Amino acid sequence: MKFRRKNKEFGEKNIIGFYNYVLFSFFFVLSSLNSFSQDSIPIAKDLTEEKELDFQQFFFKALSEKSIGNYQKAIENLENSNQILAGNMAVYFEFSKNYLLLNKTLLAKEYIKRALNNEPNNIWMLQHLVKIHIRDKNFSEAIVVQQKLVAINLNEQELLVKLYLNNKEEDKAISLMNTMEQNNGLSASFKRLKEGLTKRNNKAVVKEGVTNGSSLEEQFKANNSYAVLQQILIASKENPEKLLKYSDEGILLFPAQAFVYLMKGKALNYQKKFKKALISLQNGIDFVIDDTMKVDFYKEMAVSYKGLGNIIEEKKFIEKSKKIKE
């Protein structure tokens, strides 16, 4: 798990290197064209250099605008870059990221697929495509892409487990966790998850249905529906005792659902049991697959650290929540 996180951080730190590689290739081609045309049409060299400079300015202006949340302005600069050099992989990648940040998933998907046409096994771009499918709740398509990532890098297996679970494919999730455990690649949190799922499946009982007029609590008691549990937890946000009761039940029944850990952490923070709240949040964040929920976890963890008097960690997680979309 730690290695996977370090690997992710390494990828993020080297994304500028990726862009530099793409831009270097672009400039190398243009330089070659300059040399070819220098003897016959000298003025073309100056025009090409001007375009090179314009491309750089628009592209890096787009990165700058995105970093401060001006996603539409970033897109406008990318459009200018694209007019200078159509079909550039780095430009398409940035188009896709900005459209996803604007929650325009159709456009985000279109541009990342264009980028992947140039480099179909690029791990950063494949990871981004998975994020788009997750945002659309299209877990089947996310699984297809994630399987490709796993074939490239076994550190991607944990997200595949989460996607199987979100797609209600528990047997595949457990099977994959068994394989990971055999290869000593299963983290402590996922070992607990596998044990919880196995116990729950062994104790599974088919319950009678209820009428539409029943309360949410009666419906949940009758059928242990996660959808009903979610409604109960959302409705109980201002009732810490009830929130704690149902989030505890939720963790036993749905050990892979990050939302129930978040709600338990929230309930414990309400009760000023900050250390216990932090444990629940740390256990649950391993199962988060969506950036929006990750922000909620970071904010709640900041509350826990503030309650524990740890101002440094509080500020750290507030900052992490702010940077999650960058």
pLDDT at residue 130 in the model: 97
* Domain membership flag for residue 211: no
Return the pLDDT at 42. Answer: 40
pLDDT in tens, 46-83: 447 888 889 999 999 999 999 899 999 999 999 999 99
pLDDT digits (tens, 9 = 90+) for 81-122: 999 988 899 999 999 999 999 999 999 999 999 999 989 999
For residue 129, the model assigns a pLDDT of 98
100 and 10 share one domain: yes
Indicate the pTM of the whole model: 0.78
What local confidence, expressed as pLDDT, does residue 325 receive? 57
Across the chain, what does the average pLDDT equal?
85
Q: What is the pLDDT of residue 21?
A: 55
The torsion region of residue 45 among left (phi > 0), alpha (psi -120 to 50) and beta comes to alpha
DSSP state of 155: G
Instruction: Read off the pLDDT of each residue in 251-280 and give the average, rounded to a whole number.
Output: 95
Output the 3-class SS for 258-317.
HHHHHHHHHHHHHCCCHHHHHHHHHHHHCCCCCHHHHHHHHHHHHHHHHHCCCHHHHHHH
94 & 44 share domain: yes
Q: 62: domain range?
A: 2-200
Summarize pLDDT for 141-188 with one digit per residue, the tens: 999 999 999 999 999 999 999 999 999 999 999 999 999 999 988 888
Does some domain include residue 209? Answer: no
Q: What are 282-303's pLDDT values in tens digits?
A: 999 999 998 889 999 999 999 9
Q: 11 with 144, same domain?
A: yes
Residue 200 CA to chain centroid, in angstroms?
A: 27
Q: Give the model's pLDDT for residue 105.
A: 96
Same domain, 88 and 13: yes
127 plus 230 within the same structural domain: no
CATH code of the domain in which 304 resides: 1.25.40.10
Q: Please give the tally of structural domains in the chain.
A: 2
- Rounded to whole angstroms, the Cα distance separating 325 from 321 reads 8
Residues 161 and 298 in one domain: no
13-22, 100-109, 249-258, 314-323 — most confident range:
100-109
pLDDT of 312 over the 90 cut: yes
User: Where would I find the beta strands (DSSP E) of the chain?
Assistant: none
Q: Considering Cα of 285, then 289, then 293, then 296, what sign does the dihedral take?
A: positive
Whether residue 25 is found in the same domain as residue 122: yes
**pLDDT for 211:** 52
Q: What percent of the chain has pLDDT over 70?
A: 81
Q: Considering the domain boundaries, does residue 171 fall inside one?
A: yes
Please report whether residue 318 resides in a domain: yes
Sign of CA dihedral 313, 285, 137, 91: positive
Structure tokens at 181: 């455990």
